[in-house]
Structure 1
Amino acid sequence: MQSRFFVIPVSLLIALVLQIMPLPIEADVYRPDWVLIVLAYWAMALPNRVNVGIAFITGLAMDILLGTALGIHSFALSVSVWVLVANYQRLRNYSVWQQAIVIGLLSALYHLLVFWLQHLLTDIYFLFDYLWPTFTSMLLWPWIFWLLRKSRRQFRVT
């Protein structure tokens, strides 16, 4: 069955589409970090297949899609996934709700890195609104975890 080789790329592609999908201005502030959540799941489930290199390439695609300076999201995603992959054996043993807290911390790290890099390149100032996606990502983690685990088991992705 060859479809199992496409589960990870398709899930990352769906996450990229969800990341750039237009939302009303009031809801856009709360947009979860779809790409980070999907990368985090695959990095914890299959760290030998989804690692810092995949995060860097996905970040480059995100930089191109969002129109930001090339490398901002690549660096932030790479650092976040590196922290996750370095501790994946410990994180696998946590409950889904404890993992949601870790995802929230990773999301905060990701957003602070993106802010810091954009602040170095442009002259933006920090607003608390930059951290709202941290909370929505934490709330979505159990459902995304369940959905991706079900698809991984259904297609026997190893």
Structure 2
Amino acid sequence: MRGRNRILIIWITLLIGLCLQIIPWSPSYSMFKPHLLILIFAYWLIALPHRIGIGTAFIFGVVIDLCSGSILGIHAFIYSCIAYLLVFKFQLIRNLALWQQSFIIFGISVCYNLLVFLFQVSIYHTITISPLILLSSCIDGLLWVVIYLFLRLIRRSFAIN
């Protein structure tokens, strides 16, 4: 498989993650919704930081802003910050055990939720957070193992490097 087709596989997984991220959930179950796009980005940023970077995270953040109807740039800023943190320490994260990486992904998810909350408070002057929002972060941490193993299988089967 040629180089262009290998990069296309990465973009396809990101687009699938984007589609799954913008699917609306009922308000009673929205606290359980995982951040699949962040999980897929985290994998590619840790595995291949030279292929997917902060600019790509920014672009997908703008698309999330457009699809969710939030103020343009909020998710772009948050995704860029998360991408920076992951790219900055990708060697350390890559060398950790999978269960340790799950805790880091849990922390990244908590940071995402807190940054969204801070933007909502500062822009809309409304408080829409509950302790149940940590359930989403816990689900992200647990789902990381599945996403990691699945995307690693894809990366190895298509020889993406």
The question of a shared fold, defined as TM-score above 0.5 by the shorter chain, is answered with yes
Match in the other structure for 2:130: 127
Q: For 2:98, which of 87, 96, 116 is the aligned residue?
A: 96
Gaps of 5+ in 1: none
Shift of 1:70: 0.6
Gaps of 5+ in 2: none
Match in the other structure for 1:77: 79
The superposition leaves residues 50-102 of structure 1 with CA deviations (integer Å, 9 ceiling, x where unpaired) of 11111111111111111111111111111111111111101111111100000
Structure 1 Cα separation of the partners of residues 41 and 73 of structure 2: 17
Q: Secondary structure at the match of 1:128?
A: coil
Match in the other structure for 2:108: 106
Shift of 1:127: 2.2
The superposition leaves residues 9-51 of structure 1 with CA deviations (integer Å, 9 ceiling, x where unpaired) of 1111111111122333332211001111001000000011111
The superposition leaves residues 103-158 of structure 1 with CA deviations (integer Å, 9 ceiling, x where unpaired) of 00011111111111121110121322333211110010000000101101111112
Structure 1 Cα separation of the partners of residues 132 and 63 of structure 2: 24
Identity value in percent: 37
Match in the other structure for 2:160: 157
**In the alignment, residue 139 of structure 1 is paired with which amino acid?**
L
Structure 1 Cα separation of the partners of residues 158 and 28 of structure 2: 37
Structure 2 Cα separation of the partners of residues 133 and 37 of structure 1: 12
Displaced runs of 4+ in structure 1, greater than 3 A? none
Match in the other structure for 1:33: 35
Tell me the C-alpha RMSD between the 2 structures: 1.3
How many residue pairs match? The answer is: 158
Match in the other structure for 1:8: 10
